[in-house]
Chain A
Amino acid sequence: MTDDKDVLRDVWFGRIPTCFTLYQDEITEREAEPYYLLLPRVSYLTLVTDKVKKHFQKVMRQEDISEIWFEYEGTPLKWHYPIGLLFDLLASSSALPWNITVHFKSFPEKDLLHCPSKDAIEAHFMSCVKEADALKHKSQVINEMQKKDHKQLWMGLQNDRFDQFWAINRKLMEYPAEENGFRYIPFRIYQTTTERPFIQKLFRPVAADGQLHTLGDLLKDVCPSAVAPEGREQNEPRLKTDSRSEQE
């Protein structure tokens, strides 16, 4: 894992330049300038947009403001998806900056979960981490941690503190020397082209014969339509773990 430190840092510090514009039908007392922000790929929209909210609320009256929500080209953005996932799924083929529209009314109940507080984001995040550890370690590592360790993971994410986060996360990314990997790989595959929101299946990192599975093996197994039927290339990258405890 230490050899990967550069990769881990690159993934953690990945940013998406974003331009937030207020929805034209929102009622304002004066014109609202767009707001520019570098969004962390590994975080969540409602965790990192306090400044965006304040900026637009300055030109609005209190009575015209209810729960903030975001939309890209007509698609409401699910705050419980990591930002990088939202971008890759919806906007990666468009030119930067990523143009997001900000709304303060008509919350789309059928499309989005409410985000009543930072606690809700923390609970969602920790729930993902716990499910990932259920797959990797039968929850043994996460359950052995103290509450303060869980809190440190969350604070590391919230405050963009790589070292603080990884001091705890590294334990979730280890496996016993005699094993060759986790029990199962925590992953989800998102596609815009399918009915179901994501694909998640049990997948072992090591085959019965002891060969390490590759990312290509995983894709061929769980999402064959995404993989072209050709021969395996030389030096195909091994199945690596991601900077987060879960892959999404």
Chain B
Amino acid sequence: MGTSPRLPSPMPVAPPALGWATGSGAERSWLSFSMEEDEFFGEKTFQHCCAEFIRHSQQIGDGWEWRTLKDSSEGYMCKTHFQIKPETLMSHSGASACVQTCLPIEEALELPLDDSEVTETTTGSQVIKYEYHVLYSCSYQVPVLYFRASFLDGRPLALKDIWERIHECYKTRLLQEPWDTITQQSLPPQASPSPAHC
């Protein structure tokens, strides 16, 4: 990430909202701790839990990685995930596939994917890139989930497009009080992908 061009600002889930929406099966209950339960822990415990989380993720092929900050013992977890919008035609290495549901690309195409291989048709089909960061917040003494959604060319998704992609079971609450559940924010400096982006 350090060498990529400046990326659009990501959007975190602010504590004390419940942690959610990684979209993978690897949610861990400590992401959903709220302030009332007084389940604070320090950075060391966070790192220990992340190590276990990453180990499990590796076992199930879920793609989470640990990144260390330079000149520091601190770090964070991250994952990138691609998704095709429904009813899109995709072409990959000459073969075409018609995707009717919102499947992760790996399942739709049964091939390992890197974004240089993904092409879009001229009908403007949509590949959405989700990036997740799990950082430790000193202010709240809990982990914080940041995510951002963008098109392959780096353009960020409009907020309403993000709201629409939320899992049904969270949608009601989110649409009633979107700004209480998610906060739009810049990634904290320790995890910024590139200089001076706030």
Q: Chain A residues in contact with chain B, CB under 8 A?
A: 78, 80, 109-111, 113-114, 116, 119-120, 122-124, 127, 130-131, 134-135, 139, 143, 186, 194-202
Contact = CB atoms under 8 A, between A and B. Distances in A.
Contacts of B156: 109
26 contacts: A109-B8, A110-B7, A110-B154, A111-B6, A111-B197, A116-B159, A119-B179, A120-B184, A123-B183, A124-B184, A131-B139, A131-B140, A134-B140, A135-B139, A139-B16, A194-B196, A195-B195, A196-B189, A196-B192, A196-B195, A197-B186, A197-B197, A197-B198, A198-B198, A200-B188, A201-B138
B183 A124 contact: yes
A139 B186 contact: no
B185 A197 contact: no
B32 interface: no
Secondary structure class of chain A's binding surface, majority of residues: loop
Task: Give the interface centre of B5, B158, B183, B192 by most chain A CB atoms within 10 Å.
Answer: B183
A120 B35 contact: no
Given A143-B35, A197-B196, A198-B189, A110 B8 contact: yes
Nearest to A110: B6
Nearest to A119: B179
B28 to A, nearest CB: 22
B66 to A, nearest CB: 20
B80 interface: no
Contact of B196 (A116, A122, A186, A196): A196
B196 A195 contact: yes
Contacts of A135: 139
Contacts of A78: 198
Interface string B129-147: 0000000001110000000
Contacts of B188: 200
Contacts of B195: 195-196
Nearest to A116: B159
Contacts of A201: 138
B22 interface: no
A131 B180 CA distance: 14
Nearest to A188: B189
A114 B186 CA distance: 12
Contacts of A200: 138-139, 188-189
A122 B179 CA distance: 9
Interface in B1-38: 5-9, 14, 16, 35
Contacts of B196: 194-197
Given A110-B5, A197-B198, 4 more contacts: A120-B184, A122-B179, A131-B140, A194-B196
Contacts of A116: 159
Nearest to A196: B189
Given A131-B139, A134-B140, A197 B189 contact: yes
Contact of A202 (B9, B138, B159, B183): B138
B92 interface: no
